[in-house]
Amino acid sequence: MRANPADYELVAPGNLPDVLSLLAKEPGAWLPIAGGTDVMVLYAAGKLPARKLVSIWNLPELRRIEVLPAEVHVGGACTYTDLQEHVIIRREFPLLCLAGSWTGGIANQNRGTIGGNIANASPAGDSLPPLLAYEADLLLVSARGERRVPYRSFHIGYRKTQLGPDELIRAVCLPRQFSKYYAYVRKVGTRNAQAIAKVSLAALALINDGANNHRTNDDPANNRGVIEDVRLAMGSVAPVPLRLAATEKILKGKRVDSQLVRLAGQAAASEILPIDDIRSTARYRTAVAANLVAEFLQRLSAAG
């Protein structure tokens, strides 16, 4: 049954303090709507439980990208297009830009927001594995004040998050420490635009180049080619976007060779918790997860 607009309330206070005081007055009663690329789909299908909505689209306080010396703060209502057009984000956080470039077509990238992708909390959200890989923090704001939480602990179960009923995602904090990392991201889906991921991997790795990355006072030349740091994050393979901690542990301090590629693929396959659903099967996802980790390591090794 199609929704009747007469059954819904929508207000647009136009500034953050007024939105927060509305949320504080009746916690849980108001659903924030930014670009509507998730909310309006449910609404059109008559499946939106909320009857009262508050627009946060274009709130100036949430549509800023602040470049600080050690971090970049991306406002929660910044769109995928905003991310891709920002020169620092493009240069230092390519995983986010690439993931944004296949989140729907251009029209959805012009409306879909990073905060919406996080709050919607689908394990298939395209920008979520990159946020895990970059170890982002979230700034959550309410009339009570602001708090900072690691993104890694934000999702507490399938579509469950730490976000309070009176809170908004004000900004995503990205540490500026990855310019030397090799970056890899791939989405496996029916097609890139408009399709939801069956499996996705975002990965970062820092290889010892024999000069300044060595962790110990050993002869630096001995550590040349060793994986100093690695972050692997997958989408659509668990109830929440997943960091592959056990696989990372196997990789750290090693050089990439065929045996390591095999071991890492096996570790990834046993670390994920995939299910059968309308988009894919657990078996397929397990095989593809191992293949993606292998492809990442082979390209990393080829990149030297």
Residues that bind another protein (CB under 8 A): 3, 5-14, 18, 22, 33, 35-37, 40-41, 43-45, 53, 55, 57-58, 81, 101, 104-108, 110-111, 191-194
Cβ proximity to another protein, 110 vs 120, nearer residue: 110
Cβ proximity to another protein, 110 vs 213, nearer residue: 110
Residue 215 class from Cβ within 10 Å (0-12 exposed, 13-18 middle, 19+ buried)? exposed
Q: Report how far residue 229's alpha carbon sits from residue 213's, in angstroms, rounded to the nearest whole number.
A: 10
Cβ proximity to another protein, 126 vs 271, nearer residue: 126
Shortest gap between Cβ of 162 and another protein (angstroms)? 27
Per DSSP, 79 falls in state: B
Cβ proximity to another protein, 62 vs 293, nearer residue: 62
Q: Report how far residue 288's alpha carbon sits from residue 197's, in angstroms, rounded to the nearest whole number.
A: 12
Cβ proximity to another protein, 200 vs 301, nearer residue: 200
One-letter amino acid for residue 255 of the chain: R
Q: Of 267, 260, 250, give the one whose Cα is nearest residue 300.
A: 260
Q: Of 162, 177, 181, give the one whose Cα is nearest residue 70.
A: 177
CB-based contact 161:154 (threshold 8 Å)? yes
Cβ proximity to another protein, 9 vs 66, nearer residue: 9
Q: Of 296, 131, 117, 294, give the one whose Cα is nearest residue 205.
A: 296
**CB burial string 89-112: b at 16+ within 10 A, e below:** beebbbbbbbbbbbbbeeebbebb
